[in-house]
């Protein structure tokens, strides 16, 4: 009798669980799984979009291995991710902490820091072209003030990617807002407890803020990794992959192959290699998370 | 009782009228995808609809060629194609080779007078169909074309003591050096683009010069549509060397590192090569103190220009073949040519339209027309995979512009890349 | 003693405000450029180095640009799409996140990973199969492909809300269960009030994402009457020349709802705790 009851409870819990996640599960099955499987199948085909696909086995994947631009694009992308993700998260966190203070005009400051997210993409590209301009741009003008001759940024094969990384770091709007929400969720009594025990701001930060924020930090880390690996627009608008493919990022290369040159099969193969990389990294992050992420 | 019957008969009459009306006004709807300006497209649509009340034209304005291409591809894959598409001329042969377009030969044959003009457009419109021909069949009608001219800053020329634009490569170099003032960060000239790895770079930053040396980029076989490349011919290599020398040896052509935003509008460049498509933009955004003028491009052994533009093609899957063809004929015709040129600020491509002002009297248009009349007109040769191959060639050219590769190595690599890509 | 402490705090305050203001200026640059350009006559747009204050400011640009195309309709279209998207996202994400955060059932973590993995494949390769699917459903050239998927739990927000829920103490749930609440009641009555910052963040981000979406409307809308504001703004780009001043003026007006939502939502973001002892 007891065993039967226990089984029923587990069954009930399972059903409840599935019920709650049913929208998401259905969503994935209807809107994502189908297209994903379709693209996986396409990666074994030659498909020029205009005519039906033709099966060619693993040729696309074999071609990947000997494609110099594939490794270049992958390297460039990892360079970009390695630069932008940590920098962006740190800046976003600092900004969120600053903006969580009780200071005059906090709403103005919050809006100001959030403005990049609402500014027109084309305006951002143009302003950054000005900012990174070797002759009169903001950055080089500031450097010149300190007697340093700034590099030609987007016109140089060495400095184009750092320029894009700078631009990427600057877009903190989304992670910042999420950090802000996370900070809001930290119960104030915890801070009071630290004060009573005689702690200062560093103790508050180290023993309350940071630990309580780890779930959100984890979220931002995972999401930024997934998103940044797929960077596309800034390269598409500002450098077109140049100069000399120094800013050729993975999804841009994919887009060129799949759409511009009508090799959707090869593009799908590229996409799935990227998928495997991102998937592996995400699973890794999840595995390690139990070591440092706090949750109830 | 009477009222009820009256009421019913009224309803019946109204229904009958509505029914008849919709039968009478059964409109065919055709969709036309194009780029802006919107006013130009709308006027063409309105004029056509007035002449053909049984047709309704749905105009869809897309923001850029890339976006139009993306949407077109997705739609073709999904089997929901538009009826008439305005696209880049070098798309036509590629799409035709994949059997995506409706051939238009018979249409052109049957409507020679209407399409080719009467008297036949003298200067080049007849031959323009070469651009849209694949394996002997024509797949598009011209919509809008342009060709290179030299634009120069009159004030900067005056300051340097120059009274006219350069006519030869030697003068180009000589004037360029005089016009370069490093202390003012002012350059004699700049290339059309250094960064966009597209056919545009090949044509406008390189071919426009190599043409003057009788260089041929590619020969396309008429029956098969297959290309043979001649990229590493001495004429091409020498031209690239000449360009690179202008940048690094004679230092009057802006090197890539010195490129700043809006150099033209801020008088940092004295002369540059562009097409008529720039005129509209210059009129709007050139600061009032900047006086720009148009001259024929400088020449060398040859006096030649190429032409590039957009064309109207009809996807093979369209459900309204006849209506689409009729509209394409109109949109490619004389009246639409004038309407479009008016709104976009460019030159009509039909020379019969050049007899009217402003094309007959404004200096920029007169110079362009004379150039077309006196220079040899060379058509770029298009082939399937043109975009991909030319983008790869652009990579090598870019390497030369950045002084990372010698012109000889660059053109050799371009030749090797192009040849291997087409072999696949 | 007291004076030096006060002095230290003041120095600290000035330092902090300076840093924040410099930062604010850097982040506001594109927005300021947009405003500056929107008030310029077209002949001043390209003058470089940038002239920040146009002489004289052309306020007409705002009227002329919005009159040049049926922006009223575009705003209506975008409002409908965005409102539906936000509604769908909030409801479906909250429900799904609760399932993943609080309930244990077979395959929970696997399903979670599956849902996340939908974000790992670039949309360039899924757009065609998706397009074909929507075509078979008959949803082409409607708002449906742009709104319905959001009712099925966008992975990004499920993950966000899940993380947020994981920080809320389970004792609250347990207390409610003892009182006889169902799972749904716990979610709505107990957890929802505590989730306010996350829900408002979700609202802000979803609103922004939907309002500024370009790719979706480009692919799925083929009727200019159905265009969204983002697509409408592209009408200012000709083949070779762009009406920059008009584009910026219309863009500023397009941004205003996003800014409004953000500033309104700030009311629900309590003026934060004093971490450093600054006086407000």
Chain B residues with CB-CB distance to A262 below 8 A: 73, 94, 98
Which has more pLDDT, B74 or A101? B74
CATH number at A60-289? 1.10.3720.10
Task: Give SS3 for B180.
Answer: coil
Percent of the residues in chain A that have a pLDDT greater than 90, as a whole number:
53
Count the alpha carbons within 13 Å of C128 in the hemisphere toward its beta carbon: 31
What's the pTM? 0.91
Nearest-Cα residue of chain B relative to residue A52: B77
DSSP H or E run through B133: strand B133-134
Give how many domains chain C has, as a whole number: 2
Residue carrying the six token digits 């007891």: A2
pLDDT in tens, B47-79: 999 999 999 999 999 999 999 999 999 999 999
pLDDT in tens, B321-380: 999 999 999 999 889 999 999 998 889 988 888 988 899 999 999 999 999 989 999 999
Does the beta-carbon distance from B285 to C241 stay under 8 Å? yes
Q: Pick from C43, C62, C81: which residue ends a domain?
A: C62
Tell me, what's the pLDDT at A259?
A: 93
Are the beta carbons of A67 and A148 closer than 8 angstroms? no
Percent of the residues in chain B that have a pLDDT greater than 90, as a whole number:
74
Count the alpha carbons within 13 Å of B219 in the hemisphere toward its beta carbon: 6
Does the beta-carbon distance from B404 to A136 stay under 8 Å? no
Q: Give dist(CA B72, CA B11) in Å, integer.
A: 46
DSSP annotation of C44 reads G
Task: Give SS3 for B181.
Answer: strand
Q: Give dist(CA C152, CA C91) in Å, integer.
A: 9
Residues C229 and C130 in one domain: yes
Quote the mean pLDDT of chain B.
90
Tell me, what's the pLDDT at C279?
A: 33
Residues C28 and C135 in one domain: no
| Interval B38-51 mean pLDDT | 94
Residues C40 and C155 in one domain: no
Candidate from A135-139, C66-70, C270-274 with smallest mean pLDDT: C270-274
Exposed, middle or buried, B3 (CB in 10 Å: 0-12/13-18/19+)?
Answer: exposed
Task: Give SS3 for B299.
Answer: strand
Q: Give dist(CA C261, CA C253) in Å, integer.
A: 14
Tell me, what's the pLDDT at C274?
A: 40
Q: How many CB atoms within 10 Å of residue B391?
A: 21
Structural tokens at position B57: 């034209």
Nearest-Cα residue of chain A relative to residue B260: A133
* Nearest one of B64, B39, B342 to C69, comparing CA atoms: B39
Tell me, what's the pLDDT at B25?
A: 54
Q: How many CB atoms within 10 Å of residue C9?
A: 14
Q: Pick from C62, C82, C99: which residue ends a domain?
A: C62
Partner residue opposite B257 with nearest CB, options A126, A156, A260: A156
Chain B residues with CB-CB distance to A126 below 8 A: 261
pLDDT in tens, B183-218: 999 999 999 999 888 899 999 999 999 999 999 999
Confidence of residue C271 (pLDDT cuts 50, 70, 90): very low
Tell me, what's the pLDDT at B22?
A: 46
Q: How many residues does chain B have?
A: 424
Q: How many residues does chain C have?
A: 280
DSSP annotation of B153 reads E
* Nearest one of C269, C203, C165, C192 to A215, comparing CA atoms: C165
Residues C125 and C251 in one domain: yes
Q: Give dist(CA B281, CA B44) in Å, integer.
A: 21
Quick check: C1 pLDDT over 60?
Answer: no
Does the beta-carbon distance from A261 to B197 stay under 8 Å? no
Q: Give dist(CA C125, CA A52) in Å, integer.
A: 15
Percent of the residues in chain B that have a pLDDT greater than 70, as a whole number:
92
Residues C97 and C40 in one domain: no
Tell me, what's the pLDDT at B121?
A: 60
Please state the domain extents for chain A. Answer: 2-42, 60-289
| Interval B255-262 mean pLDDT | 91
Residue C240 maps to a domain: yes
Quick check: C154 pLDDT over 80?
Answer: yes
Partner residue opposite A135 with nearest CB, options B76, B260, B398: B260
Torsion angle defined by CA atoms of residues A281, A286, A288 and A291, in that order, rounded to the nearest 10 degrees: 160
Task: Give SS3 for B31.
Answer: strand
Residues C90 and C52 in one domain: no
DSSP H or E run through B56: strand B55-62
Residue ranges, CATH 3.40.190.10, chain B? 28-145+309-353+361-369, 148-305+385-423
Residue C280 maps to a domain: no
Q: Give dist(CA A143, CA A271) in Å, integer.
A: 40
Candidate from A166-170, A213-217, C53-57, C273-277 with smallest mean pLDDT: C273-277
pLDDT in tens, B292-305: 999 999 999 999 99
Shortest distance between the Cα of B397 and any Cα of chain A, in A, equals 10
Percent of the residues in chain C that have a pLDDT greater than 70, as a whole number:
93
Identify the domain containing residue C103 by its residue range.
Answer: 68-275
Quick check: B290 pLDDT over 90?
Answer: yes
Give the architecture-level CATH label for domain B28-145+309-353+361-369: 3-Layer(aba) Sandwich (3.40)
Residue carrying the six token digits 């008429």: B222
Quick check: B141 pLDDT over 80?
Answer: yes
ipTM of the complex: 0.89
Please state the three-class secondary structure of chain A as a single string.
CHHHHHHHHHHHHHHHHHHHHHHHHHHHHHHHHHHHHHHHHHCCEECCCCCCCEECCCHHHHHHHCCHHHHHHHHHHHHHHHHHHHHHHHHHHHHHHHHCCCCCCHHHHHHHHHHHHHCCHHHHHHHHHHHCCCCCCHHHHHHHHCCCCCCCHHHCCCCHHHHHHHHHHHCCHHHHHHHHHHHHCCCHHHHHHHHHCCCCHHHHHHHHHHHHHHHHHHHHHHHHHHHHCCCCHHHHHHCCCCCCCCCCCHHHHHHHHHHHCCCHHHHHHHHHHHHHHHHHHHHHHHHHHHHHCCCC
Quick check: B12 pLDDT over 80?
Answer: no
Residues C33 and C137 in one domain: no
Q: Give dist(CA C204, CA A174) in Å, integer.
A: 9
Q: Which superfamily is assigned to B148-305+385-423 in CATH?
A: Periplasmic binding protein-like II (3.40.190.10)
Residues of C with CB under 8 A from a CB of B: 42-48, 69, 127-128, 131-132, 135, 140, 218-219, 222-224, 231, 234-235, 237-244
Q: How far apart are the first and last CA of chain B?
A: 84
Quote the mean pLDDT of chain C.
86
Partner residue opposite C183 with nearest CB, options A16, A95, A119: A16
Q: Which residues contact C105 (CB under 8 A, 6 or more apart)?
A: A13, A14, A16, A17, A18, C99
Q: Pick from C62, C77, C108: which residue ends a domain?
A: C62
Does the beta-carbon distance from B195 to A260 stay under 8 Å? no
Quick check: A1 pLDDT over 60?
Answer: no
Q: Give dist(CA A159, CA B298) in Å, integer.
A: 35
Does the beta-carbon distance from A262 to B73 stay under 8 Å? yes
If you write DSSP's letter for every residue of B114-125 in order, what string do you get?
Answer: HHHTTTTPTTTT
Shortest distance between the Cα of A203 and any Cα of chain C, in A, equals 10
Q: How many residues does chain A have?
A: 296
pLDDT in tens, C73-111: 999 999 999 999 999 999 999 999 988 888 888 888 888
């Amino acid at each position: 009798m007891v065993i039967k009851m226990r089984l029923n409870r587990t069954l009930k819990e399972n059903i409840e669980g599935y019920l709650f996640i049913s929208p998401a599960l259905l969503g994935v099955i209807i809107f994502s799984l189908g297209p994903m499987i379709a693209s996986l199948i396409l990666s074994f085909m030659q498909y020029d979009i205009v005519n039906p696909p033709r099966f060619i086995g693993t040729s696309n994947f074999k071609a990947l291995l000997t494609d110099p631009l594939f490794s270049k694009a992958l390297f460039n992308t990892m360079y970009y991710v390695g630069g932008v993700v940590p920098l962006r998260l740190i800046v976003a966190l600092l900004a969120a902490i600053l903006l969580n203070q009780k200071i005059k005009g906090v709403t103005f400051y919050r809006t100001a820091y959030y403005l990049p997210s609402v500014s027109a993409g084309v305006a951002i590209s143009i302003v950054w072209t000005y900012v990174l301009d070797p002759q009169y741009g903001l950055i080089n003008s500031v450097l010149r003030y300190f007697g340093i001759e700034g590099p030609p940024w987007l016109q140089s094969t060495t400095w184009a990617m750092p320029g894009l990384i700078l631009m990427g770091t600057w877009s903190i709007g989304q992670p910042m807002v999420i950090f802000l929400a996370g900070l809001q969720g930290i119960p104030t009594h915890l801070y009071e407890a630290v004060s009573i025990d005689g702690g200062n701001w560093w103790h508050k930060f180290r023993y309350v803020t940071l630990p309580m924020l780890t779930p959100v930090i984890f979220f931002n880390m995972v999401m930024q990794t997934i998103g940044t690996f797929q960077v596309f627009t800034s390269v598409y608008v500002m450098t077109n992959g140049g100069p000399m493919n120094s800013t050729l990022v993975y999804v841009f290369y994919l887009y060129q192959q799949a759409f511009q040159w009508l090799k959707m099969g090869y593009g799908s193969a590229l996409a799935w290699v990227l998928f495997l990389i991102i998937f592996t990294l995400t699973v890794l992050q999840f595995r390690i998370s139990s070591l440092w992420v706090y949750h109830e | 009782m009477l009222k009820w019957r009256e009421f019913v008969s009224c309803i019946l009459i109204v229904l009958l009228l509505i029914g008849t009306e919709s039968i009478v006004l059964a409109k065919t709807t055709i969709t036309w995808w194009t780029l802006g300006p919107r006013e130009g497209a709308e006027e063409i649509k309105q004029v056509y609809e007035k002449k053909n009340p049984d047709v309704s034209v749905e105009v869809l304005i897309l923001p850029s060629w890339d976006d139009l291409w993306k949407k077109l591809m997705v739609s073709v894959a999904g089997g929901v194609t538009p009826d008439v598409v305005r696209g880049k001329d070098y798309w036509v042969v590629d799409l035709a080779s994949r059997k995506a377009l409706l051939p238009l030969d018979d249409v052109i044959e049957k409507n020679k007078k209407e399409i080719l003009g009467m008297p036949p457009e003298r200067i080049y419109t007849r031959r323009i169909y070469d651009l849209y021909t694949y394996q002997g069949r024509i797949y598009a009608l011209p919509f809008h074309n342009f060709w290179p001219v030299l634009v120069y800053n009159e004030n900067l020329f005056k300051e340097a003591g120059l009274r006219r634009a350069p006519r030869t490569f030697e003068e180009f170099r000589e004037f360029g050096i005089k016009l370069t003032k490093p202390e003012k960060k002012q350059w004699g000239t700049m290339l059309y683009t250094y960064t966009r790895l597209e056919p545009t770079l090949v044509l406008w930053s390189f071919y426009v010069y190599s043409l003057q040396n009788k260089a041929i980029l590619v020969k396309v076989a008429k029956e098969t549509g297959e290309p043979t490349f001649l990229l590493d011919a001495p004429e091409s290599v020498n031209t690239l060397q000449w360009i690179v020398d202008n940048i690094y040896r004679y230092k009057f052509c802006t090197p890539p590192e010195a490129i700043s935003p809006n150099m033209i509008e801020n008088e940092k460049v004295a002369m540059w090569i562009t097409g008529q498509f720039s005129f509209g933009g210059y009129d709007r955004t050139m600061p009032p103190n900047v006086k720009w003028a148009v001259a024929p491009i400088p020449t060398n052994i040859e006096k030649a220009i190429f032409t590039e533009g957009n064309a109207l093609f009809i996807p093979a899957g369209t459900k309204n073949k006849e209506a689409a063809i009729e509209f394409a004929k109109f949109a490619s015709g004389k009246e639409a040519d004038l309407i479009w040129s008016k709104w976009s600020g460019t030159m009509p491509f039909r020379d019969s339209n050049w007899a009217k002002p402003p094309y007959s009297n404004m200096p920029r248009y007169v110079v362009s027309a004379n150039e077309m009349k006196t220079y040899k007109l060379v058509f770029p040769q298009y082939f399937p995979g043109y975009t991909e191959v030319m983008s790869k060639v652009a990579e090598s050219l870019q390497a030369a512009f950045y002084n990372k590769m010698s012109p000889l190595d660059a053109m050799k690599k371009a030749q090797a890349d192009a040849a291997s890509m087409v072999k696949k | 003693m007291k004076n030096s402490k006060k002095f230290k705090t003041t120095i600290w305050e000035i330092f902090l405000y300076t840093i924040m203001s410099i930062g604010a200026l850097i982040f506001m640059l594109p927005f300021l450029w947009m405003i500056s350009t929107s008030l310029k006559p077209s002949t001043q747009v390209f003058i470089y180095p940038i002239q920040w204050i146009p002489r004289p400011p052309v306020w007409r640009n705002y009227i002329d640009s919005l009159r040049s195309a049926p922006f009223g309709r575009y705003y209506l279209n975008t409002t409908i799409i965005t409102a539906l998207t936000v509604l769908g996202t909030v409801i479906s994400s909250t429900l799904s996140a609760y399932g993943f955060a609080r309930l244990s059932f077979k395959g929970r973590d696997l399903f979670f990973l599956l849902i996340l993995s939908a974000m790992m494949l670039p949309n360039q390769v899924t757009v065609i199969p998706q397009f074909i699917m929507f075509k078979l459903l008959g949803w082409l050239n409607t708002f449906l492909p742009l709104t319905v998927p959001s009712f099925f739990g966008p992975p990004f927000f499920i993950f966000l809300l899940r993380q947020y829920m994981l920080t809320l103490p389970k004792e609250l749930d347990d207390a409610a269960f003892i009182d006889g609440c169902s799972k749904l009641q716990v979610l709505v009555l107990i957890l929802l009030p505590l989730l306010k910052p996350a829900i408002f963040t979700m609202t802000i981000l979803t609103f922004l994402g939907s309002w500024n979406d370009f790719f979706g409307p480009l692919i799925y809308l083929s009727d200019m009457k159905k265009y969204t504001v983002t697509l409408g703004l592209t009408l200012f780009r000709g083949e070779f020349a762009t009406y920059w001043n008009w584009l910026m003026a219309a863009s500023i007006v397009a941004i205003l709802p996003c800014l409004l939502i953000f500033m309104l939502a700030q009311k629900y973001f309590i003026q934060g705790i004093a971490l450093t002892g600054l006086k407000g």
